[in-house]
Structure 1
Amino acid sequence: MTDQPATRAAPPPESSPGLRRTIGRKVLLLFVVGDILGAGIYALTGKVAAEVGGAIWVPFLCAFALAALTATAYAELVGRFPRAAGAALYAHRAFRSPFLTFLVAFTVMMSGITSASAAARAFGGDYLAEFVTVPTLLAAWFFLLVITAVNVIGISESVKVNVVLTVVEASGLVVILAIGAWALLHGDGDPQRAVQLDPEGTPWVAVLGATALAFYALLGFEDSVNLAEECRRPRRDFPRALFGGLAVAGVIYLGVAFTSSMLVDTETLAGSTGPLLEVVKVAGLTFPPKLFAAVALLAVTNTALINMIMASRLVYGMSNEGIVPRVLGRVHPGRQTPYVAIAFTVLIALTLVATGDLAGLADTTVLLLLLVFAVVNVSVLVLRRTPPEDDERSPEDEDADTQPFRAPTWAPVLGAVASLVLASPLTGRDGSVYLRAGVLLAVGVLLYLVNRWLVGRPARR
């Protein structure tokens, strides 16, 4: 860090309007819940069962513990710096390194796009097969273009769509919970199977690997910080929305995991790309499988929509920080959406869908975000050495005098350690995932060098 006064990157042109502050606490809470619930729990439950046996809830519980630790760091940082750049901004403020800032921002952006691409690939699985057989790539491309259209229309409209899809996808999980409760009351299923760890190898290694896999279903809580610049009262509302959303999603996931393993044998779950559909088919409480498949498809849609919204807002924030060319920060004068950033991110997603499969994209997403989480947890500790006067306060924030949330020191410390452990080969992650992530990061380094050559050294703040 330098003792000289920080130099703020040049503001966007006056002709470029700012993002509209339209998001309140209740909508933000639904956004967090909807961001977590989605493609992961609907598609990966069986894969987790293949790792540990019947006790699927154990890896999900471990994954939620890690998410809660890292959420404390995000809650503290968004209160101090309520801007759209998220993790990239926090790393920039903590380490004052333009290269690290770009690398973190690029990693987060790519994780969002790979997650949306994985959801697009999942769209053509067993759930869609209940209605029609369509080539996976064609369905994925069409799927992404529809998501992009909603994103371009506007953040208010996008969040409203998210709210509707959140209610739909949550209702599908409530159906699974109701099926579980009915089964317990009528003595159906095998509750003992749901508490048995039956891994092929060493139990703790299997649980660790399954936790890393289950973590994909938990991703999304961190995305909401990128909406800080479009939130009415970020300092007050974000901590409540983050922890409230995690708590709601946690209870739902644990119940769904228990019900799935209680009613469906591990082999059947592990072999299905629509594991919750298997639960519906064997349930004593009748529910139309096609209707549930439709709900699952909407849940996948919600995952993709939120990730593409967040990726485009991150690119917009990077542009305002002077890390990428200013053209990516252009805002549509009518819709007030970052239309150039949206176009940029969807082009990457369309390419990824054509070159990667569901499993590889999902695991790459987890690995990239775990590395980012480690940086964020360290950043919050470093930034505690900076004076409060360096915090940013939006004039639109009615609670600008509210004291920001402060995480207990042990939480980000454990969060950083846990993130690095889950990112390590100890989880048994396939080497091709590390290779794919390495290539993506290498592309990021190349882009940074090209941008520096074209526009010069980024300003230090």
Structure 2
Amino acid sequence: MSQRAGGVAADAPSDTAAARGLGPFAATFLVAGNMIGSGVFLLPASLAAIGSASVIGWAVASVGGLVLALVFALLGIMRPDVNGLVRYPADGLHPIFGFVSWISYWVASWVGNVAIAIAAVGYLAVFLPGLIGPVATLVTTLVIIWALVAANLWGPRVVVWLAASTLMIGLIPILAAIGLGVLHFDPDIFWGSWNVSGQPLSKVVPGSLVMIFWAFMGLESASVAAAAVDNPRRNLPIAALGGVALASLVYTTATAAVMGVIPAERLAASTAPFADMVAIAAGPIAGAVVAACALAKTLGTLGGWVLVAAEAGRVGAASGYLPKALSTRGVRATPVRDILLVAVLMSLAALATLSPTLTKQFNALINASVLLILLVYILCALALARFASGIEDPARRWVTRLIGLVAAAFCVWMIVASL
């Protein structure tokens, strides 16, 4: 899954802090870095059922992602708050929408975590092929989930170390796919896999957007960056748009490169598309190295997101959304009960989505997670449209309101197109 933002409420930056803040270049890479994670590692195999025409879906999703990033950048300028995904709907619309936003985000977190674990199984299977199969995949997924749960129970420092140590490693599969894909790109393979389903592109492309948007989760980090950015009114929109554009370019290029080397029929059966592509282009040893890098990154991402989901549960319990008996009290204490609750829920999600193939299970999980996050995005976009009424300048007020409404409409369209 892509990196997603979270934390505790932040105050508006002071003049002194702003003077030492991030410039537009650094802030752009902050937003892009929060997006570029493990979310894309299985997507080429998922999109193979559509074909290389999915690059059109990437372009459409990129436009929508840019508008949504601008929504969160504006929210970050107007109301800097790292808990904004809950606070914006509650303050801008109605307190009940704060609960809706929280429950959607919380459920999406632990459902999405299972998808990350599934991706890890796929790349682990490069070394242990016997792991592929409904029962074997389920058992391995549960082992991975509970291993990362144990790391979280050991302490946050273990999880932080794991996430930090695998951060740059995760770029190797993507960069290798882009570099080798350019050198070994075969137009015949790419165009031969253009539209596998044979259905009109007007139906195929919109239907692929929810799946593609799995890689865009994390774009909301633009609002969190407000407190760390120098001159946020000018630089935050630049960072938001630039970060999403950079991540979109990397993802689209990597996916196109894979689809220009591996035919769609073979790609659809892959459990480790980036490793398979590199193995074709540079040999099995290089493919194994890429698989190991992808595996390490997915484990690092999963470890961090178990903690994020647990902390989201603790926030919910503190707000009265969950029974407090299910949560660990004390902000500084390790959220043991919250971690165990999330672990049980992830295990149940893995069992409930058990499928004949790993890719089918992955698709079901990411679709559910993205649909829930899109609901959060809709509420935040509508909240921006409401907050715009406080802007004195008429032109800025109407432009801000229009951005919020367009972003909300885009998310609604994606949800409808996926049905």
Q: TM-score, normalised by structure 1?
A: 0.71
Aligned position for 1:128: 124
Cα RMSD after superposing both structures: 3.8
The match for 1:291 among 289, 292, 295 is: 289
Aligned position for 2:405: 413
Aligned position for 2:383: 379
Aligned position for 2:253: 255
Aligned position for 2:49: 50
Kindly tell me: are residues 383 and 249 of structure 1, through their superposed partners in 2, closer, same or farther at Cα, counting changes over 3 Å? same
Alpha-carbon offset, residue 198 of structure 1: 5.3
Aligned position for 1:442: none
Kindly tell me: are residues 363 and 163 of structure 1, through their superposed partners in 2, closer, same or farther at Cα, counting changes over 3 Å? same
In the alignment, is the contact (CA less than 8 A) between 2:9 and 2:83 conserved in 1? no
Deviation track 1:174-229 (CA, whole Å, cap 9, x = no partner) reads 11111023226xxx56476289455421211101112222112222323675x679
The one-letter code matched in structure 1 to 2:406 is L
In the alignment, is the contact (CA less than 8 A) between 2:52 and 2:195 conserved in 1? yes
Question: In terms of mean alpha carbon deviation, does 265-274 or 110-119 score higher?
Answer: 265-274
Aligned position for 1:95: 93
Deviation track 1:278-305 (CA, whole Å, cap 9, x = no partner) reads 3112215786221111112123224423
Q: Distance in 2 between matches of 1:280 and 1:367?
A: 32
Instruction: Give the secondary-structure state (helix, strand or coil) at the position aligned to 1:139.
Output: helix
In the alignment, is the contact (CA less than 8 A) between 1:331 and 1:340 conserved in 2? no
1:255-334 equivalent positions in 2, closer than 5 A:
255-283=253-281, 288-325=286-323, 328=327, 330-331=329-330, 333=332
The match for 1:217 among 211, 215, 218 is: 215
Q: Distance in 2 between matches of 1:347 and 1:233?
A: 38
Instruction: Give the secondary-structure state (helix, strand or coil) at the position aligned to 2:305.
Output: helix
1:112 matches 2:109: yes
The one-letter code matched in structure 2 to 1:342 is I
The one-letter code matched in structure 1 to 2:214 is Y
Q: Distance in 2 between matches of 1:81 and 1:317?
A: 19
Deviation track 1:72-100 (CA, whole Å, cap 9, x = no partner) reads 22222234444443322111101233x32
Aligned position for 1:367: 371
Q: Distance in 1 between matches of 2:330 and 2:337?
A: 8
Instruction: Give the secondary-structure state (helix, strand or coil) at the position aligned to 1:166.
Output: coil
In the alignment, is the contact (CA less than 8 A) between 1:189 and 1:262 conserved in 2? yes
Kindly tell me: are residues 422 and 373 of structure 1, through their superposed partners in 2, closer, same or farther at Cα, counting changes over 3 Å? same
1:7-26 equivalent positions in 2, closer than 5 A:
none
In the alignment, is the contact (CA less than 8 A) between 1:79 and 1:235 conserved in 2? no
Identity of aligned pairs, percent?
A: 20
Q: TM-score, normalised by structure 2?
A: 0.78
In the alignment, is the contact (CA less than 8 A) between 1:215 and 1:366 conserved in 2? yes
Kindly tell me: are residues 351 and 423 of structure 1, through their superposed partners in 2, closer, same or farther at Cα, counting changes over 3 Å? same
Kindly tell me: are residues 386 and 306 of structure 1, through their superposed partners in 2, closer, same or farther at Cα, counting changes over 3 Å? farther
The one-letter code matched in structure 2 to 1:148 is V
Kindly tell me: are residues 20 and 147 of structure 1, through their superposed partners in 2, closer, same or farther at Cα, counting changes over 3 Å? farther
Instruction: Give the secondary-structure state (helix, strand or coil) at the position aligned to 2:121.
Output: coil
Q: Distance in 2 between matches of 1:81 and 1:343?
A: 33
Kindly tell me: are residues 103 and 75 of structure 1, through their superposed partners in 2, closer, same or farther at Cα, counting changes over 3 Å? same
Instruction: Give the secondary-structure state (helix, strand or coil) at the position aligned to 2:127.
Output: coil
Q: Distance in 2 between matches of 1:306 and 1:265?
A: 34
Aligned position for 2:15: none
Q: Distance in 1 between matches of 2:240 and 2:328?
A: 27
Kindly tell me: are residues 314 and 245 of structure 1, through their superposed partners in 2, closer, same or farther at Cα, counting changes over 3 Å? farther
Aligned position for 1:438: none
Aligned position for 1:423: 415
In the alignment, is the contact (CA less than 8 A) between 1:141 and 1:350 conserved in 2? yes
Deviation track 1:358-381 (CA, whole Å, cap 9, x = no partner) reads 232111112112222111111111
